[in-house]
Amino acid sequence: MTLVTVDDVRGAATRIASDVIRTPLLPCARLSDELGLRVLIKPESLQNTGSFKVRGALNTLLTWKENGTLPEGVVGFSAGNHAAAVAFAGQRLGVKAIIAMPHDAVESKVINVRRYGGEIVPTDDLLGTTEELAAQYGYPALLPFNLPEVIAGQGTVGLEIAEDAQDAAAVIVPVGGGGLISGIGAAVTALAPSMRVIGVEPEVSNALSLAMTHGEVRELPRAARTIADGLAAPRAGNHTLENALAYVDEMAVVSENAIGEAWADLADSAKLIVEPAAAVGLAALRSGAVSLPAGSTVVLVVSGGNADLVKLAQARMG
């Protein structure tokens, strides 16, 4: 299996440049003082569709278009952010998007998908329903993480970090199926080799670290029920596993309580609307699951901002 390279990521950056926001690195004085680190936030919550996912979806469809294989439509599965990204990319390129989503998907994510013309199929079996949709319509699956084109697109986050924070000691990345950290790892390892690439998962949804431990993709023993719904992947993928083994320096897990507390505090500290998945990096630093030398620079990837605002308000109230 061929690894995604920094050249693949650079190619993706060129393809998607006109349709994505180059998000800044924002210093966060409050968290820096608390943690004894120089904390920089990469706010993909400000990205088109409200998450990093649009980078991978766009790069995939644009690559297929370059290759002359752009389909009439695509299918996929998602808790919401990938669904909105596929709908957004499909709208840009005239491709129909049909996405399997959980019955209990966050309402803001459902609204986001429909805003961009995506068709939602509610289901309790994301993978099975996606296969059924592919067979019914004859459309290819644009998967949320396990495609090289998706990984390369997500890697543009790492390309920007390497350009803007060459001296950072580490980048901490939320992990579900592993597409984001695989792409970031490909870029950062090549361009800023002293920067550690650290992934964080909910302890109840650790599909990538499970695969890395065993050297093969394994299904989680039970369906993940986590506050960080964007990280609830049923399994990693063969592509994300191989790239993670090559590019990821460390993996950590955090509890549901730690995620909930960090979610509220990250929104307050950074003055950003974020979703729980975006807060696992802060949870890992606070809990000691990830430790860095005092005074070093760390980049927290804030992966998305499609939050349930009622639950966010409740979390902030304790």
Is residue 303 annotated as part of the catalytic site, yes or no?
yes
Catalytic hit among 51, 205, 287, 303: 303
Distance (Å, whole) CA 164 – CA 129: 41
Cβ atoms < 10 Å from Cβ of 144: 27
- The conformation of residue 229, written as its DSSP 8-state character, comes to G
Candidate list 42, 45, 51, 53, residue with the active-site label: 53
- Extract the tokens encoding 162: 């390497």
| Closest to 45 in 3D by CA, of 246, 310, 316, 305 | 305
**Alpha helices, DSSP H, located in the chain:** 6-16, 29-35, 53-66, 81-93, 107-115, 126-137, 148-164, 179-191, 207-214, 238-247, 256-270, 280-287, 309-316
Read off the DSSP letter of residue 23: P
Rounded to the nearest 10°, the torsion over CA 124, 130, 135, 137 is: 110
| CA separation for the pair 248, 255 (Å, rounded) | 21
Which residues are annotated as catalytic? 53, 303
